[in-house]
């Protein structure tokens, strides 16, 4: 594999957290993602289902993890099923996991080929009362594609209708929100690669370059540093395009006097960075651009101070909105009358700041966690306020990734340039 895997102790600890919350005499099953088809005989690059990766470190298709902590035989308390390789697969696709390699990565002693799963599961299900099933319960998920987990759920309902069924997601939504030291190290590597990409394009951007050329410079730097891909579809949005929150076409020319907004991140070992920066195409902010830029930066820094244990995203975002309201007043975008007459359910600031301020980050870019959850030490959040002035063709968002601690946050992106003056200096010293 391209990246250096986290040590198996991380996945051993993650499984221990999960099984601690399982009911007695229960089995939990987690499936890998499918290799998704395109058309003809094409497939998309494989991306692992993050729950099975979190619990096993296994980054390969056709894998199944079974947890049965109360199994009568110790060897059946953790079982990993992997795809059996052969000479033909080795010729056409290359190396697949051996049983030895799977043990080394996961810390799981009992490894079987995935073709043996149904026979073994049948014997273990007879000893159990409850089956934990996994599904995608993320609040933003659009579950239109039938996954291996979904097919397994259908099979269980047909084959084991008298077993009690439980959901794995409530447990995972609790334990995955708190990042360990090992996970933070993986995130730091993704962030370091993102920083290298950003510093590269600061020396590249100038009037006349295409948005997709900036994207190309970034992916070159990412892959050169052992990232496999962008963490998400990158947004390279110049001029008015920056006012389109999810602009991903990246097709326009960057013009003199415009800003270019870059919402980007590198993936490393399935962990994801998520950063946004806005820079002047010609290397110098106009007076108005700098006013708006510094307003967004001020809101971001104030927001960071509110990311403390005990707060919730819902309450936090309300307070960030009040700070944004003051900045928009100062910029002449809102009036006191606008604020006096605003609908409490649709605050006036939302005309220029339409999205949330923060989301959980980790194995998923929008990682597990509910808005009503109390913030805790070890949670990782983005901090990404923005101001979008469509009539002025100015869209500015600034985003850093931070770790909540008991006494203040750790800004994982503190070394990545963000001050307007520093951006200008780097863009105008291209040696």
**What is the tens place of the pLDDT at every residue in 2-51?**
999 999 999 999 999 999 999 999 999 999 999 999 999 899 999 999 99
What's the confidence (pLDDT) of residue 28? 98
Angle between helices 8-20 and 181-202 (to 10 degrees): 120
Mean pLDDT of 331-338: 97
What's the confidence (pLDDT) of residue 89? 79
Mean pLDDT of 345-371: 96
Phi then psi for residue 33, to 5 deg, are -70, 160
d(CA 352, CA 295): 12
In percent, the amount of the chain with pLDDT more than 70 equals 100
pLDDT in tens, 292-334: 999 999 999 999 999 999 999 999 999 999 999 999 999 999 9
pLDDT category of residue 91 using cuts at 50, 70 and 90:
confident
Q: Which two tokens stand for residue 303?
A: 């927001």
d(CA 103, CA 95): 16
Give the other-Cβ count within 10 Å of 142's Cβ. 7
pLDDT at 109 over 70: yes
- Burial class of residue 316 in the structure, from the number of CB atoms within 10 Å of its CB (0-12 exposed, 13-18 middle, 19+ buried): buried
Widest CA span of the chain, in angstroms?
74
Angle at 245 between CA 240 and CA 249, to 5 degrees: 70
What's the confidence (pLDDT) of residue 92? 83
d(CA 85, CA 115): 11
pLDDT category of residue 431 using cuts at 50, 70 and 90:
low
Sign of CA dihedral 398, 402, 404, 406: negative
Tell me the CATH class for 8-175. Answer: alpha beta
Q: Which two tokens stand for residue 7?
A: 């040590």
pLDDT at 90 over 80: no
pLDDT category of residue 344 using cuts at 50, 70 and 90:
confident
Phi then psi for residue 402, to 5 deg, are -135, 155
Angle at 193 between CA 190 and CA 197, to 5 degrees: 135
Q: Decide if 131 contacts 160 (C-beta within 8 A).
A: yes
Question: How many Å is the Cα radius of gyration of the chain?
Answer: 24
Instruction: Say which residue, 362 or 143, is predicted with more confidence.
Output: 362
Q: Decide if 59 contacts 243 (C-beta within 8 A).
A: no
Q: Decide if 260 contacts 214 (C-beta within 8 A).
A: yes
What's the confidence (pLDDT) of residue 105? 98
Q: Where are the domains of the chain?
A: 8-175, 181-427
pLDDT in tens, 189-223: 999 999 999 999 999 999 999 999 999 999 999 99
Question: Which of these, 19, 43, 38, lies nearest to 29 by C-alpha position?
Answer: 19
Give the other-Cβ count within 10 Å of 139's Cβ. 10
Q: Which of 3.90.230.10, 3.40.640.10, 3.40.50.1980, 1.10.3720.10 would CATH assign to domain 181-427?
A: 3.90.230.10
Angle at 169 between CA 171 and CA 37, to 5 degrees: 145
d(CA 385, CA 157): 45
């Amino acid at each position: 594999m391209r990246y250096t895997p986290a040590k198996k102790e991380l996945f051993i600890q993650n499984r221990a957290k999960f099984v601690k919350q399982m009911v007695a005499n229960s089995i939990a099953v987690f499936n890998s993602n499918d290799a998704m088809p395109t058309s003809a005989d094409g497939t998309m690059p494989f991306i692992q289902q993050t729950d099975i990766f979190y619990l096993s470190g296994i980054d390969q298709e056709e894998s199944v993890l079974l947890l049965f902590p109360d199994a009568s035989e110790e060897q059946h308390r953790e079982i990993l099923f992997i795809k059996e390789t052969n000479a033909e697969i080795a010729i056409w696709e290359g190396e697949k996991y051996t049983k030895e390699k799977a043990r080394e990565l996961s810390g799981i002693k009992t490894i079987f080929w995935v073709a043996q799963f149904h026979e073994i599961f049948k014997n273990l299900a007879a000893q159990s009362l409850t089956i934990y099933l996994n599904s995608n319960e993320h609040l933003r998920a659009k579950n239109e594609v039938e996954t291996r987990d979904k097919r397994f759920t259908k099979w269980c309902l047909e084959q084991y209708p008298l077993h009690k069924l439980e959901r794995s997601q409530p447990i995972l939504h609790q334990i995955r929100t708190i990042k360990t030291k090992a996970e933070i190290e993986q995130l730091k590597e993704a962030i370091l690669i993102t920083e290298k990409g950003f510093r590269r394009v600061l020396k590249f951007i100038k009037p006349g370059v295409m948005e997709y050329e900036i994207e190309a410079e970034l992916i070159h730097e990412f892959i050169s540093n052992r990232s496999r891909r962008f963490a998400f579809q990158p947004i390279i949005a110049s001029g008015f395009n920056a006012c389109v929150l999810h602009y991903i076409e990246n097709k326009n020319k960057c013009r003199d006097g415009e800003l270019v907004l870059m919402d980007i991140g590198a993936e490393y070992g399935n962990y994801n960075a998520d950063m946004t920066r806005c820079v002047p195409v010609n290397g110098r902010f106009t007076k108005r651009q700098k006013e708006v830029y510094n307003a967004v930066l001020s809101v971001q820094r104030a927001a960071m101070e509110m990311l403390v244990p005990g707060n919730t995203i819902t309450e936090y975002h309300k307070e960030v909105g009040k700070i944004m309201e003051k900045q928009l007043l100062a910029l002449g975008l809102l009036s006191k009358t606008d604020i006096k007459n605003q609908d409490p359910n649709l605050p006036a600031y939302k005309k220029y700041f339409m999205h949330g301020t923060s989301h959980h980050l980790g194995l998923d870019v929008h990682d597990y966690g509910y808005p009503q959850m109390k913030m805790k030490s070890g949670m990782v959040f983005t901090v990404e306020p923005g101001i979008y002035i469509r009539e002025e063709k100015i869209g500015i968002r600034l985003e850093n990734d931070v770790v909540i601690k008991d006494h203040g946050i750790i800004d994982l992106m503190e070394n990545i340039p963000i001050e307007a003056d520093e951006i200008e200096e780097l863009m105008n010293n291209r040696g």
